[in-house]
Each structure stands twice: as structure tokens, then as C-alpha cells.
């Protein structure tokens, strides 16, 4: 029996994972065994997104979301629901909607219906996801365009009304970066000034193993917690492959391999990169432990490398190794390091 992440860190913060349909239906024996043993909270990776739960005008499909709730109850795993308002993974009828009244109707109905149905059944909602640009301004989206810049306040207000017993969070990536962080801080202050409840902020945490922005992360923990909201890391994974837009901080060899359109680690992860992954997680968890009073949760974006979205993003069909369990569900050196750090 391997040590448990959740048990090891239970006095510090909750450790969660993202799950998909096959896992909550317990069709994967390895995941079925590992999830309750290793994790203390779950996030639906896709099944509560609008395109799944609200596929057509006036038609919701709660099948998978209800299964998720039942799975969580069975295993005593609180659910961090994801997500009500997001520009991506919208149902097809929404993507082309032209008229503002219809967008407003979708928006109000969507939030109210889903948030009220699961109030008392989920622990929290990412009410709004990824609403900021890199420079901290509001991100261009159908919601901003048709509803105006107060749509985020409106979303939280509707969620608060529909789900009085559910924690309400703002979630985004790169909000540890100074400019975008400033935008997130301004947004949280704006919500508070409007008298709207916001309980926490989720920093997604999709970083590169060889380039974890520790100083920015530390600064963010301090600045966000000073606002009196919960701070969480909600979608943690440390990719070993660069993104095309990674600058000179990216590993030079990796960048070259990427530009050549290659998949350099298809046959396995070399020891040197395995070591970088382990070091990345070590540094990060040392920081998390240092700020455990300010951090309420750390959720991994998937159980094991085989599940990770980073095999298909930003380009499809690569072989990435961003999580603590490998494709055979075996704990990696990074797993044992994370246990050791505590
Ligand atoms: C990703 C899922 O992991 C993929 O399976 C899906 O195809 C696309 O979305 N930020 C978020 C998450 O908030 O919802 C995204 O999840 C990853 C980036």
C-alpha cells in the first residue's frame, strides 16, 4: 500500500483530482481504487460544462452530473463543481447567438437552474472561469460583448441567490502573473464592493515542470489571501513539453523538438526530465506547505498521465507526463517527493 496524498496533507489543505465520466462510473479499476485512497475532493473535468449539461435551448442533461454527485456521496468526496460561465465548451446553439436578450436568457437560466439543483450537493462552484486577458482587462467573449462588463457581478449574484449553501469561486490561469493578477484582484474587489459574495480564487496551475513561476505564485498567495478569500490551486499539472508561445525560458532542446513537430518523449521520459518534474513538484509543495494556512485546496487536473488533457493540448497526439501517477497508475518519483516534502 502506497502512502496517501490526502492523508499526508490533511492538516494542510485538501488534495483533489479532476474526473471524467468513465472514472465516476468506476469503469477503470485502477482509477476506482486510487481516487478514494489518494484524494479528498473531486472536480468534474468536463461533465458540468455547458456543452454537456445544457446541450440545447431549454434542454438540460443532468445524467452524468447526477452520477458525479452520487459518486461523491458514496466515497465521501466533496465536489468542486466546474464551471457555470466560461467562453469555451459552450453548446453549439450558444456559440452563434446574435441577440443580447437571448444571451441574457441563457445566462440567467443556466446559472439559476444548475446552481439551485446542486446546492447542498456540491461544495463549491467555479462561477466564472477565465474571464481575463493576459493584461488584466476583461476577456473578449460572447458574455462581455452581449451583456456588458458587469456580467461577472451578475453571474455571482445569480449564483448566490440560487446556491446559498455553496462556495462561490473565480477561477483562471496565469493569474499568478503580475498583470493578470492585478486584473483578478481588481475583479475580486469590484465584486466585494458590489456587495456580492465571492468565497475564493482558483489559480489553475498549468505550468511547465522546468519553469514553475515560484516567486509569482508566492506573491499571489500573499496578495489574494490579503483580500480575505480562499486561495486554491485548482488544475495543477506540470507539463514536460513546451507550448509554442513559451519564450526563452523554455528548455531549448524541448523548444527545438516542438518546432520540428516532434513528440520527443513518445518512447518514455528520460531521467533528466523526470528529475525536473520531481524538482518542480518538490519546489511547489514546499511553497504550498509554507503557506498552508492560506491555501485551502490543491487539485490535480487528472489522476494519471494517460488521462491528462496535455496529451492533446495545445496540439494533439503528444505524449506528456504532467501528473504524479504514470500511465500504468504507478506513483512516479515526483509522487514520493511530494509525500517526503511534508
Ligand atoms: C480541459 C479538459 O481537461 C479537456 O478534457 C477538454 O477537452 C478541454 O478542457 N482550463 C480549464 C479546464 O478551466 O476546464 C480545461 O479543461 C483546461 C484549461
Could you read off the pLDDT of 99-146 as tens digits, one per residue?
999 999 999 999 999 999 999 999 999 999 999 999 999 999 999 999
d(CA 322, CA 262): 18
3-state SS class at 159: helix
- Give the model's pLDDT for residue 198: 99
Active site residue 235: yes
Residue 244's pLDDT band, with cuts at 50, 70 and 90, is confident
Q: How far is CA 301 from CA 145, 148, 179, 204, 286, in A?
A: 30, 31, 25, 9, 19
Best mutation site among 235, 300, 310 for ligand 1 pocket (most ligand atoms within 8 Å of CB):
235
Q: What is the mean pLDDT of residues 335-339?
A: 98
Q: Position of cell 463549491?
A: 124
Min mean pLDDT across 68-77, 188-197, 222-231, 260-269 is at 260-269
- CB-based contact 323:304 (threshold 8 Å): yes
Q: What CATH number does residue 180 fall under?
A: 3.20.20.80
58 HSE (CA, 13 A, CB side): 1
* Structure-block grid coordinates of residue 29: 479499476
- Give the model's pLDDT for residue 256: 73
- Number of C-beta neighbours around residue 70 at 10 A: 12
d(CA 240, CA 259): 15
- Give the model's pLDDT for residue 190: 98
C-alpha angle 46-102-154 in degrees, rounded to nearest 5? 70
User: How much distance in Å is there from the Cα of 310 to the middle of ligand 1?
Assistant: 9
What is the helix (H) or strand (E) element at residue 172, kind and residue range? strand 167-172
Catalytic residue among 56, 149, 235, 282: 235
d(CA 72, CA 234): 17
- Number of C-beta neighbours around residue 83 at 10 A: 23
Q: Residue 161's Cα: distance from chain center in Å? A: 24
Q: Which of 290, 245, 332, 207 is nearest to 13 (CA)?
A: 290
Q: Which atom of ligand 1 is the closest one to the Cα of 86? A: 13
- CB-based contact 241:264 (threshold 8 Å): yes
Residue 307: give the domain boundaries. Answer: 5-341
Q: Is 0.90 topped by the overall pTM?
A: yes
* Structure-block grid coordinates of residue 174: 496565469
- Give the model's pLDDT for residue 242: 85
Whose Cα sits closest to atom 16 in ligand 1?
45
C-alpha angle 61-67-69 in degrees, rounded to nearest 5? 105
Tally of structural domains, the chain? 1
- Give the model's pLDDT for residue 251: 67
User: How much distance in Å is there from the Cα of 287 to the middle of ligand 1?
Assistant: 25
- Give the model's pLDDT for residue 204: 99
What is the helix (H) or strand (E) element at residue 96, kind and residue range? none
Q: How far is CA 306 from CA 48, 106, 195, 309, in A?
A: 21, 35, 43, 9
- Number of C-beta neighbours around residue 36 at 10 A: 17
* Structure-block grid coordinates of residue 194: 458590489
* Mean pLDDT score across all residues of the chain: 96
Q: What is the mean pLDDT of residues 237-265?
A: 77
331 pLDDT above the threshold of 60: yes
3-state SS class at 105: helix
User: How much distance in Å is there from the Cα of 313 to the middle of ligand 1?
Assistant: 9
d(CA 80, CA 43): 5
d(CA 127, CA 125): 5
Percent of the residues in the chain that have a pLDDT greater than 70, as a whole number: 97
Q: Which atom of ligand 1 is the closest one to the Cα of 130? A: 13
Q: What is the mean pLDDT of residues 144-163?
A: 98
319 pLDDT above the threshold of 80: yes
257 pLDDT above the threshold of 90: no
The DSSP bridge partners found for residue 41 are: 16
d(CA 208, CA 320): 11
- Give the model's pLDDT for residue 8: 98
pLDDT tens string 176-218: 999 999 999 999 999 999 999 999 999 999 999 999 999 999 9
d(CA 167, CA 127): 9
Residue 96's pLDDT band, with cuts at 50, 70 and 90, is confident
As for ligand 1, residues whose beta carbon falls within 6 Å of it are 45-46, 129, 204, 235, 309
Best mutation site among 21, 81, 301 for ligand 1 pocket (most ligand atoms within 8 Å of CB):
301
What is the helix (H) or strand (E) element at residue 233, kind and residue range? strand 230-239
User: How much distance in Å is there from the Cα of 322 to the middle of ligand 1?
Assistant: 14
252 pLDDT above the threshold of 90: no
The DSSP bridge partners found for residue 207 are: 238
Amino acid at each position: 500500500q502506497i502512502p496517501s496524498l490526502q492523508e499526508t496533507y490533511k492538516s494542510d489543505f485538501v488534495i483533489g483530482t479532476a474526473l471524467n465520466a468513465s472514472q465516476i462510473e468506476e469503469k477503470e479499476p485502477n482509477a476506482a481504487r486510487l481516487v478514494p485512497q489518494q484524494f479528498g475532493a473531486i472536480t468534474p473535468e468536463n461533465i458540468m460544462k455547458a456543452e454537456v449539461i445544457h446541450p440545447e435551448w431549454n434542454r438540460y442533461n443532468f445524467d452524468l452530473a447526477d452520477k458525479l454527485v452520487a459518486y461523491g456521496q458514496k466515497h465521501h468526496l466533496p465536489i468542486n463543481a466546474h464551471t457555470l460561465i466560461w467562453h469555451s465548451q459552450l453548446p453549439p446553439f450558444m456559440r452563434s447567438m446574435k441577440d443580447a436578450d437571448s444571451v441574457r436568457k441563457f445566462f440567467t437560466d443556466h446559472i439559476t437552474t444548475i446552481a439551485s439543483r446542486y446546492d447542498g450537493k456540491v461544495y463549491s462552484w467555479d462561477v466564472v472561469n477565465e474571464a481575463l486577458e493576459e493584461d488584466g482587462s476583461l476577456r473578449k467573449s460572447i458574455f462581455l460583448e452581449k451583456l456588458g462588463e458587469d456580467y461577472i457581478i451578475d453571474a455571482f449574484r445569480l449564483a448566490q441567490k440560487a446556491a446559498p449553501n455553496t462556495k462561490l469561486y473565480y477561477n483562471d490561469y496565469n493569474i499568478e502573473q503580475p498583470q493578470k493578477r492585478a486584473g483578478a484582484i481588481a475583479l475580486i474587489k469590484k465584486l466585494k464592493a458590489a456587495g456580492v459574495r465571492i468565497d475564493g480564487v482558483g489559480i489553475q496551475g498549468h505550468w511547465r515542470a522546468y519553469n514553475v513561476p515560484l516567486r509569482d505564485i508566492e506573491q499571489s498567495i500573499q496578495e489574494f489571501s490579503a483580500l480575505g478569500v480562499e486561495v486554491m490551486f485548482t488544475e495543477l499539472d506540470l507539463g514536460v513539453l513546451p507550448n509554442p508561445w513559451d519564450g526563452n525560458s523554455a528548455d531549448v532542446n524541448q523548444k527545438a523538438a516542438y518546432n520540428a513537430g516532434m513528440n520527443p518523449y513518445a518512447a518514455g521520459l528520460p531521467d533528466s526530465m523526470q528529475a525536473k518534474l520531481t524538482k518542480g513538484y518538490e519546489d511547489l509543495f514546499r511553497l504550498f506547505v509554507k503557506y498552508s494556512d492560506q491555501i485551502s485546496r490543491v487539485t490535480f487536473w487528472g489522476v494519471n498521465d494517460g488521462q491528462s488533457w496535455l496529451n492533446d493540448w495545445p496540439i494533439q497526439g503528444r505524449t506528456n507526463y504532467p501528473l504524479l501517477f504514470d500511465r500504468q497508475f504507478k506513483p512516479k518519483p515526483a509522487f514520493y517527493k511530494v509525500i517526503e516534502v511534508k
